[in-house]
Structure formats: C-alpha cells, structure tokens
A and B are shown apart, each in its own frame.
Chain A
Amino acid sequence: MSSPSWPRCATDRRAMLGGLLALSLVRPAGATPEALAAAMREFTGGAAPLPGGVTLDIPPLVENGNAVPVGVEVESPMTEADHVRAIALFNERNPLPNVITARLGPWSGAARLSTRIRLATSQRLIAVAALSDGSYRMAEQQVVVTLAACIEG
C-alpha cells in the first residue's frame, strides 16, 4: 500500500468538506444584536448593567457546542438588605437571545448556579445579575466553538 501523506494539514480537502458540511447544518441565522439588546432590556427594565461583581465561568474554546458547561457567581452577602434577586444568561448568535433566567433570594445563601448550554457558533455570552437595590451587574465572555469534522448524517 502506498502511503501518501494523508492529511498533513488542517486545510486538507476532506477537512474542508467536513467543515462545510458542518456549516450547512448550523441552525438558522442567529439572534440579531437588536434582539439581544431587547432581551436584556426586558430583564433589566431598561437599566444599563454595570460590569464587575459577576464571574462568568465558561471555557474559552469548546469542542462541541451542544453541551457547554457554564457557571455564574455573583459577589453578594445574600442578606435581606443586600442580595441577588435574579441571574440571567444571554447569547449573541443562537436563534434566540435568552438562555436561562433564574430567580433566587437571600435564602439562597449564595448567588451561584451552573448549567450546560448550546452554542450554535463562536459568540459572546453575557451574564446579568439583578440586585436587591434595583441595580444590575454583568460579565461577558467570548467563546470559540470548533466545528466537528465527523458528524452523523
């Protein structure tokens, strides 16, 4: 058997084919920046969230966008007087901008949750926390989603 130097670099024809196939299967066009802004406005009632105080834990590079582990933690004493009321997660380029919205309170003891989400493609993820004083805090993170070469179909 002769042994040509089969795929020696990632731009190999077959790799391209796989990539194109994967691209063609990506879900419909992503949410528009307007839809993202509108979803965030609905959560904050129009208030502009300030950066800081929120940790958004998501791997910067993911192997598969179907189940991406994500954690959100908000700095807060979680007392009656000073606590987090809600945490919402938004994305930039899935078909819909909302991911999950959670309601909590001082009885939660901590403002921390984790889940697994879908990311249709590389994009920005935004976590917003609603605080008991009516203010909003946020954190954002850019995530690169690699497209699989070998997909079922």
Chain B
Amino acid sequence: MGSPRPRRGRSRWLEALACAGALLLLGAGPRSGYETMTPQLRAMQDDDLSNPGMLAVAEGEALFAREGCAGCHTAEAMRGVAARYPALDRASQAPIDLSGRIAQCREKRQQRPPLPREGPAMLALTAFVAHQSRGLPLQPDPRLAEARRQGEALFRERRGQLNLSCAQCHDDNAGRRLAGSLIPEGHPNGYPLYRLEWQALGSLQRRLRNCLVGVRSEPFPPGAPDYVALEAYLVARARGLLVETPAIRP
C-alpha cells in the first residue's frame, strides 16, 4: 500500500489532499508520540536519570539475574528481541507477545508460579528486555499475517456505547485535539512505558484497555488473543519506528 497508514478503500479526496500536505510538511511515515510531546517531556524520556521508567528497567535487570533468566540468556542476546514481537509461538502456532513469552518461559521451562501480567515484577522484566532493543526499528513478524488481519479488523470496528473505532481517533483524527489533549497516532513502540496519567509504568494492554473503556466498550480479559492480534497490527502499522522503551507519555 502506498500510503503510510493503510486506509479504507473508499477515496476521500479532500482528506487525502490534506494528508498529502501534512506529509509534505512532516515527512512521510508513522510518527512516534515522542515527536508531539513538549520539549520538557522529551527531555524526561531522553535522560535515563530523569526517566522514571528506568527505575523499572533497573528492577528488571535485578530480577533477570535473581529469577534465573540469566541462567540461559545474556542481556546482550536480548537486543533486538522486543523489536520482533509479537512473534509466532512454534508450539501453539499462535501469536505471543513479549510478556506472554516471558510468562511461558517461567512456567514451562522454570516450572515456577506465574507472575501477574501487569504486576510490577512482570512489567519490570518486560521493560528490561524491551529496553535492550531501544533504538532498533520495529520488525513485524512475517508469519503473523492472519493475526494482523484480525487486528486490523478490530482496529476498524466501531465499538462500545460511543460507537467509535480505534481508526476514527488514531487514523482519521490523529494530530487534532480532544479537549486539551493531542490525539496521537497510537503507536506501540515505547511499551512498557511511563504514563504521567498513571504515575507508573504500564503495558500496551493496559493502554488498549483504557481506550476500550473510554469508548464504553467491554475490555477483553488480560492476555486475550484480541490484544495480541491488535498489537500485531499496530506493530505493522508502526513499521520502521524505533523502540523507545521505557517511553514517557502524558
């Protein structure tokens, strides 16, 4: 597809023209939410000593050693891993996200009790592993075509009492404002990230759940395949953006 963000087949000439103008000004391709933050927030993300997400990365590094991950994996070998997720899990032939892979490793290979998906330990481990890929471009797994197709369908499906799709905000109205907030393009390249609204590090699934609840839609249960399919589509949609973990977002 020629356009950087795939759109519905139906042509909308005026919007296309406006978009073309905007792309000329801003440069083609997906734009990370980083680009639209204030200089103060960008500085908070850029400097590791001021980025509160780095507290979780440091905790994750300690857990990586203490919880036995380092018995098989080196931190160096983790470089590039997060940029390739979600990936195809060979055993189940189903897509799996990075936290899902860490959980699987722990339960199947270490035979240890699971960590809560959004608990501080899992977030810290995921942040540490993802941080090793900081600066590398997202590389969608070519084997996930079916999951991406499902994810795109979810992205475009109107949901909830407000009857809104993801695409209506994050494709059609990205760059505009909703109340005082800029509507971002909605890319997954900084997770787990430190969101000022949460005052904490959180996962992509938490963010997706916020959006679902925001349009008054029933959120999927934590770890549901729908989230992984959405993530598979979002990663393809954000192709080429660099991993920023741990990003800062307002």
Asked if A55 lies at the interface with its beta carbon under 8 angstroms from chain B, I say: no
Q: Which residues of A contact B44 (CB under 8 A)?
A: 67, 69
Instruction: Judge whether A6 is part of the interface by a CB distance below 8 angstroms.
Output: yes
Contact mask for chain B residues 178-213; partner A; CB cutoff 8 A; 1 contact, 0 none? 111110000000000000111100000010001101
- Residues from chain A with a CB closer than 8 A to the CB of B173 are 6-7
Query: What's the Cα separation between A67 and B41 when bound, in Å?
Result: 9
Interface string of A100-137 (1 = CB under 8 A from B): 00000000000000000000000000000000000000
Chain A interface SS verdict (over half):
loop
What 0/1 readout, one digit per residue, does chain A (1-24) give for beta carbons within 8 Å of chain B?
Answer: 101001100101011101100100
B90 interface hit (Cβ, 8 Å): no
Interface status of A44 (Cβ within 8 A of chain B) = no
Query: Given the known A-B contacts A1-B8, A153-B213, are A64 and B250 also in contact in the complex, defined by CB atoms under 8 Å?
Result: yes
Please report the C-alpha to C-alpha distance between residue A6 and residue B249 in the assembled complex, in whole angstroms.
25
- Residue in chain A with minimal CB distance to B173: A7
Task: Identify which of A29-37, A46-54, A143-151 touches chain B.
Answer: A143-151
Q: Tell me the complex Cα distance, A69–B180, Å.
A: 19
A152 within 8 A of B: yes
Cβ–Cβ contact A66 & B197, under 8 A: yes
Complex CA distance for A13 and B197, rounded to whole angstroms = 22
Q: Does B110 contact A (CB under 8 A)?
A: no
Whether B180 lies near A149 (C-beta < 8 A) is yes
Please count how many residues in chain B sit with their CB below 8 Å of the partner chain's CB atoms: 32
Q: How far is the CA of A59 from the CA of B12 in the complex (A)?
A: 39
Q: Which residues of B, 116-168, contact A by the 8 Å Cβ criterion? A: 162, 164, 168
Decide: A18 near B179, CB < 8 A? Known: A6-B172, A7-B173.
Answer: yes
Min Cβ gap B222→A in Å is 15
Does A82 have its Cβ within 8 Å of any Cβ on chain B? Answer: no
CA distance A12 to B176 in the complex (A): 12
B38 at the interface (CB under 8 A from A): yes
The answer, among B8, B38, B168, B181, for a CB contact under 8 Å with A148, is: B181
Check B198 against A152 for contact (C-beta < 8 Å): yes
Q: Return chain A residues, CB-CB under 8 Å to B182.
A: 63
Minimum CB–CB distance from A3 to chain B (whole Å) comes to 7
Q: List 17 A-B contacts (CB under 8 A).
A: A1-B10, A6-B164, A7-B176, A14-B162, A59-B38, A59-B40, A63-B37, A63-B180, A64-B197, A67-B52, A69-B44, A146-B181, A147-B180, A148-B197, A150-B178, A152-B197, A152-B198
Give B contacts to A, CB under 8 Å: 8, 10, 12, 37-38, 40-41, 43-44, 52, 162, 164, 168, 172-173, 176-182, 196-199, 206, 210-211, 213-214, 250
Query: A residues near B, CB below 8 A?
Result: 1, 3, 6-7, 10, 12, 14-16, 18-19, 22, 59, 61-64, 66-67, 69, 146-153
Supplied contacts A15-B179, A59-B40, A150-B211, 20 more A-B pairs, CB within 8 Å:
A6-B164, A6-B172, A6-B173, A10-B179, A15-B178, A18-B214, A59-B38, A61-B38, A63-B180, A64-B196, A67-B44, A67-B199, A69-B44, A146-B179, A148-B179, A148-B180, A148-B181, A151-B210, A152-B206, A153-B213
